[in-house]
Structure 1
Amino acid sequence: MPQDRHFEWWHHSHPTFAGITGFFAGMLYVTAVPGAFAGILRLLFTYETAEKLFPFVLLALVVPIAMLVKRKTRRFAQFMFVGMVVTTLVVLGVASLVLYFMVDA
């Protein structure tokens, strides 16, 4: 009986479960998917061809958009988009500050 209750704390229906997992999934999605896509393209094709094919990574946005349509995954997808947007803003903000300080110095 004690082993049946081992993962009782892991409530998938908990109100914050979808929010936390969606946010971190969005952070991972916006960083790992383009990197993995670029790596796979570079392994399969020449540099010039991989560079031409890289914009197709935007097709990966179909997955979170499709999750917004279905009611059961909508909350997760909303937080996933928040994680994607926040991560993008942080990366762009840090990159712009680093570039500013590099050029200014």
Structure 2
Amino acid sequence: METEEAQQVDGSQRQHFEWWHHSHPTFAGITGFFAGMLFVTALPGAFAGLLRLLFDHETSEQLFPFVLLALALPIAMLIKRKTRRFAQFMFVGMVVTALVVLGVASLVLYFMVDA
């Protein structure tokens, strides 16, 4: 009787997470793209905030370029076969986000100077 209850609990846990399709072809693409977006936008800001909390202004400015060491994570994920697809879409998300931010910033600057 106990094994039957354990199987029912195990089956209900599987049904509970059926919406989370890890093997679905678009899962890695969507999660990688949005992880890349967060990587470009939130990581430098969080790093700068943490440095500002821990150090004075001059030291924080000197240590900020070390945020580029975080690029080792997606590069390392490109090497391993299991995470390669995720890392490729993560790079796409990073590049697209950077292009959008730079494009919007340049347009805003152009219109501010032109006006």
Q: 1:53 aligns with which of 55, 59, 63?
A: 63
Q: Which runs of 4+ in 1 moved over 3 A?
A: 1-4
User: Which whole-Å CA distance do the structure 1 matches of 2:47 and 2:17 have between them?
Assistant: 35
Q: Sequence identity, in percent?
A: 85
CA distance in 2, matches of 1:44, 1:10: 38
Larger Rg: 1 or 2? 2
Give 1:86's match in structure 2, choosing from 96, 105, 108: 96
What is the Cα deviation at residue 33 of structure 1? 0.7
Aligned residues: 105
Partner secondary structure for residue 78 of structure 1: helix
How big is the shift at 1:21?
Answer: 0.2
Normalising by the residue count of structure 1, what TM-score does the alignment of the two structures yield? 0.95
Measure how far apart 1:6 and its partner are.
Answer: 2.6
Q: What one-letter code is carried by the residue in structure 2 that aligns with 1:75?
A: R
Q: Which residue of 1 aligns with 2:80?
A: 70
What is the one-letter code of the residue matched to 1:86? V
1:7-53 CA deviation, whole Å, 9 max, x = no partner? 21211010000000000000001111100100011111111110111
Given the alignment of the two structures, is residue 36 of structure 1 paired with residue 46 of structure 2, yes or no? Answer: yes
Distance in 1, matches of 2:63 and 2:110, equals 30
- My pick for the range that moved more, 1-10 or 89-98, is 1-10
> Letter of the aligned partner of 2:60 in structure 1?
A
Q: What TM-score does the superposition give when structure 2 sets the normalisation length?
A: 0.87
- Higher percent of residues as helix: 2
Give 5+ residue unaligned stretches, structure 1: none
Q: Give unmatched runs, 5+ long, in structure 2.
A: 1-7
Q: In the alignment, what sits opposite 2:28?
A: 18
What amino acid is the match of 1:25?
A: A
